[in-house]
Amino acid sequence: MIFKVFNYNLVVVNFKVFSEKHSYHLVDESPWPLIGALSGSMVTFGGVMSMHGYIGGPVLLKCGFCLLILTMYGW
C-alpha cells in the first residue's frame, strides 16, 4: 500500500469573520431573540384570548404580529 501525504498550505485571509480573538466562539449580543420570544408569546396569548372573546385579545394579537414582523425584518 502506498500512502500519499499532501501538504496543505493554509491561506490567511484578513476578513473580520475569520479573525480570531478567542480560542472559542462568542456570539454577539442581540435583542432579537428576546423580542422574538415576546412577540411569539403575544401572538399565542392574543390568539387564545380573541378566540375566547376577551376584550384585549385582538389588540394583543395585532401587536404580537407587528413585533413578529419587526423581528423578522431586523434579524
pLDDT, tens digit (0-9, with 9 covering 90-100), for 24-68: 777 788 899 999 999 999 999 999 999 999 999 999 999 999 999
Structural domains of the chain, count: 1
At 73 the pLDDT is: 95
pLDDT, tens digit (0-9, with 9 covering 90-100), for 3-14: 455 555 544 445
C-alpha to C-alpha distance for 28 and 22, rounded to whole angstroms = 13
Q: Give the residue with greater pLDDT, 55 vs 1.
A: 55
Residue 26 lies inside a defined structural domain of this protein: no
Residue 57 lies inside a defined structural domain of this protein: yes
Task: Name which of 72, 52, 55, 75 is nearest 64 in CA terms.
Answer: 72
Range of the domain at 42: 32-74
Interhelix angle for 32-51 vs 57-74, to 10°? 150
At 23 the pLDDT is: 73
